Structure 1
């Protein structure tokens, strides 16, 4: 196993790029880790770098996820390649890529794989954090190339580029496609991007599917997505990982008969489109009524002046769980108007018992809302 520490420098990303190229050709498996992540030492220990790696593994994506328990997703050269090839087929052919998300997550690492298979040299957004002027500077090299120009972002980054209105937005407008992943793209954000002339493609996927495997609601070629009886989504296809590092029981539980059972609920719509409803464990049982947190968030996000919202259930002696919301607003927003919108759309049980406002939602990983932190704040 080759461990690559990423510190925000171009040298570190270049080292990872070379290591991934060797792994795709049958070399040592690569474990990318963030040097700035306080959890990285624990992740490294859990990955047991001195223990032989499971066969046919090119990359191990280590994460503590929402549970806090370290796990390493084992991804083969074939899965990485299948994902990259299918992505290019969906976007419009191989092209030039800008890496603008952390490369120790699968979404960033796949940018390196796609560029490698396209025979192009990726540009890197270096440093820590995300600044729109740095994005514009890094994008310049890609936008100067002929042929398709692509990048991958998380919704939070896109919002900052749209808010920027300057060089960052101009750079975003120059890409033939921007793949949005890691978190759901709200209808309001989709509309803002369209009005600004930014071509986005929302995606759904995870480390276990070698990055996004559903683009704008349509599975990539070779990928099947279907809900089970409880609306929990399962996925099959050549993009699947083959298990978890040193966790045969977890592997057997999650990967069965060529299918990966996700933690998300969803629907299969007419025409084969997939609608993701949110995580299965984000259903709130309040007074005996089951409420989808994602559905409440969707209603809140559609209200004028609301930029983002996170809805969770907190312990309640009266309701068992109470629906509460943490909202990011632009200017003054009346909580009563928010409650009225939810009540009109989803009914009284889904209406938040309490709404608090914040400047930004806490995040974990590449743009994912830290629901545990929101719940801790709203439970106090």
Structure 2
């Protein structure tokens, strides 16, 4: 059964139950279903061929979800608008839909979605036969090391991802209200939202990280999904405001290294159950664990899931034994189409997420850092993320970004950009890092207004490099 059918079924069972809540407005499952039926009729009447790409520049979460579901029912491919640079990598868009803000300029047809679109329509609801391998959604990679690349999710893959993510939701316990802090145009945010709705769980959205505590408290949300950076910001906010969050039962985070001290702070200020996720837009969630259930291991990100194959390989391509560190590669039955490495006929291609790590004999994944972010400092290899975490432990540092830059002799020079909450000397910060990593104290530390980050909180490395050169 399609994920769209599952959401329709929830509307049939409990039409008055909240489905999406954002900006103080509640959209029930019944309201969502009526909107999807109306929108799918209007869109189908445009005469677009199944498989056509449709750009979406819709900021209101309920409308974004409704339009995405309507496009899926018409056999069309939704493409959340990111930038002109990312659209240039795609075939021409047949249609661009916006809410009056940013217009998707490369589309053959551009339409502004108004309130009238969501009113009852006389247009017949389409009944389109859709193959499992037909494209359904285009996600963009994080773009941390350059221009984001398109990732095509099929209908069958989306059905499978909805089930996979729903299994992860179960780790939070019996919840009925999820706050998703990840944007809908991200793979994690969209898959989490679809999985929740398909299982009758209401999804709440905050206006920004600063709005998360009030949203959690006001609506009694039991489960929070957020990036590591968002969790860091939330912990900082809670340490200052201490808003009571009695309903919050679990927090799920991932996307980068999770420091042990962040987990401990989150358990103290938010809730005791912190779920760690490792995954990617291309393959989905590949490993997870509940923090504290096993002895803490620096860089631990979870146990490889049963539906995922993961290996660490050496520089010459050899598969390394369990426990040895190398470049990771991963594949899953639910993965999206990303143009990975060639594979024998009948096999899925491997995806190389750009991380180094090891897999223990019992299947626990430990990340040592991003391949491109591993710094070789006088023979010592160290992830730039670990230096960033060391900087952020200083009481005056709010955020930090670290890169290795080759000096005139070709040796790696560690440079850092930081945002601070008051006056602090560069020498003090350098000395502070040296207590943890003597060989990795940054030779240059630049105070900036903000660290360049993408929608999911990951540092945009090329923009950071421009700041530090």
TM-score strictly above 0.5: yes
Q: Is 1:66 equivalent to 2:172 in the alignment?
A: no
**CA distance change for structure 1 residues 325 and 173 in 2, over 3 Å: closer, same or farther?**
farther
| Aligned match for 1:112, one of 193, 203, 209 | 193
Q: Name the CA distance, whole Å, in 1 between partners of 2:354 and 2:213.
A: 33
Question: In structure 2, the residue corresponding to 1:364 is in which secondary structure?
Answer: coil
- What residue in structure 2 maps to residue 86 of structure 1? 167
Does the CA contact (< 8 Å) of 1:140 and 1:171 recur in 2? no
Does the CA contact (< 8 Å) of 2:165 and 2:191 recur in 1? yes
- What residue in structure 2 maps to residue 364 of structure 1? 454
Aligned residue pair count: 356
Q: Name the CA distance, whole Å, in 1 between partners of 2:213 and 2:393.
A: 28
Q: CA deviation at 1:367?
A: 0.6
Q: Is 1:161 equivalent to 2:234 in the alignment?
A: yes
Q: Is 1:310 equivalent to 2:394 in the alignment?
A: no
Does the CA contact (< 8 Å) of 2:327 and 2:356 recur in 1? yes
- What residue in structure 2 maps to residue 46 of structure 1? 89
Question: In structure 2, the residue corresponding to 1:236 is in which secondary structure?
Answer: strand
Cα distance per residue 1:31-64 (max 9 Å; x no partner): 3424xx4x1x33334221569x993433221347
| Aligned match for 1:13, one of 64, 70, 76 | 64
Q: Name the CA distance, whole Å, in 2 between partners of 1:338 and 1:225.
A: 38
Q: Is 1:226 equivalent to 2:311 in the alignment?
A: yes
Cα distance per residue 1:1-25 (max 9 Å; x no partner): 35252432144323245248x46xx
Instruction: Between 113-122 and 363-372, report the one with greater CA deviation.
Output: 113-122
- What residue in structure 2 maps to residue 203 of structure 1? 277
Does the CA contact (< 8 Å) of 1:4 and 1:15 recur in 2? no
Question: In structure 2, the residue corresponding to 1:66 is in which secondary structure?
Answer: coil
**CA distance change for structure 1 residues 279 and 165 in 2, over 3 Å: closer, same or farther?**
closer
Q: Name the CA distance, whole Å, in 1 between partners of 2:438 and 2:267.
A: 31
Does the CA contact (< 8 Å) of 1:124 and 1:138 recur in 2? no
Cα distance per residue 1:198-221 (max 9 Å; x no partner): 343232211012256434522334
Q: Name the CA distance, whole Å, in 2 between partners of 1:64 and 1:368.
A: 7
- What residue in structure 2 maps to residue 266 of structure 1? 357
**CA distance change for structure 1 residues 175 and 2 in 2, over 3 Å: closer, same or farther?**
farther
Q: Name the CA distance, whole Å, in 2 between partners of 1:94 and 1:73.
A: 30
**CA distance change for structure 1 residues 271 and 136 in 2, over 3 Å: closer, same or farther?**
same
Question: In structure 2, the residue corresponding to 1:101 is in which secondary structure?
Answer: coil
Q: Name the CA distance, whole Å, in 1 between partners of 2:278 and 2:366.
A: 10
Unaligned 5+ runs, structure 2: 1-51, 95-130, 291-300, 316-325
Does the CA contact (< 8 Å) of 1:136 and 1:168 recur in 2? no
Cα distance per residue 1:75-109 (max 9 Å; x no partner): 22244234223313433356432333210001210
Larger Rg computed on CA atoms = 2
Does the CA contact (< 8 Å) of 1:156 and 1:367 recur in 2? yes
Matches within 5 A, 1:241-252: 241=336, 243-244=337-338, 248=339, 250=340, 252=342
Q: Name the CA distance, whole Å, in 2 between partners of 1:166 and 1:323.
A: 31
Question: In structure 2, the residue corresponding to 1:233 is in which secondary structure?
Answer: strand
Does the CA contact (< 8 Å) of 1:322 and 1:353 recur in 2? yes
Does the CA contact (< 8 Å) of 2:145 and 2:461 recur in 1? no
Unaligned 5+ runs, structure 1: 144-148
| Aligned match for 2:181, one of 100, 103, 107 | 100
Quick check: which one's helix share is greater? 1
Cα distance per residue 1:138-157 (max 9 Å; x no partner): 764463xxxxx323122343
